Amino acid sequence: MRCCFLVLSFFIMVSLYFLFNWFPFKYAEYINSDLFDRLLILSIINVESSFSEDAISPLGAYGLMQIMPETSKWLNEKFKTNYNVYNPIDNLNLGIMYLEYLYKRSGSLEKALVDYNTGPYSKEEIRKDAGGRYLSKVKKVYRIYRFLYRGD
């Protein structure tokens, strides 16, 4: 009986170790949003870049929040900021600023997330296909983050 308890305890500890490594709380102290829960932003970072500061997508999106350089330039001009898309904290701020803009524009978190992934002017078929898959991933990861960190 004691052996089963030790094996079960070991399994739980290893599982939790991997869960907390796959779903880190990294950068949480830098997340400032009046509109969004920081666990949602962490979920987006997880899906977008797996917390890789220098991640580059095949289309050229960069960093934690996978911001296109052109989008960064547009955001800086529109909101009179001077964030550097290649700086991890600035990239995080740009991503939050963009998501907040998209949310205010559409009035829907789901639409804002799809727009974040596909671009606000993408074709409907892309929005349904790629945007739908992205939305599903973010929701799944968000549920895990809420399970792991809701007590924070």
* Tens digit of each residue's pLDDT, the chain (152 residues): 666 655 555 455 545 555 566 678 889 999 999 999 999 999 999 999 999 999 999 999 999 999 999 999 999 999 999 999 999 999 999 999 999 999 999 999 999 999 999 999 999 999 999 999 999 999 999 999 999 888 54
Its pTM surpasses 0.95: no
The CATH architecture one would assign to domain 25-149 is Orthogonal Bundle (1.10)
**Is the sign of the CA dihedral 94, 96, 97, 101 positive or negative?**
positive
The string of DSSP codes covering 16-28 is HHHHHHHS--TTG
Residue 150 is predicted with a pLDDT of: 82
- Residue 100's contacts (CB-CB under 8 Å, 6 or more residues apart) are 33, 34, 35, 36
**Is the sign of the CA dihedral 44, 48, 51, 54 positive or negative?**
negative
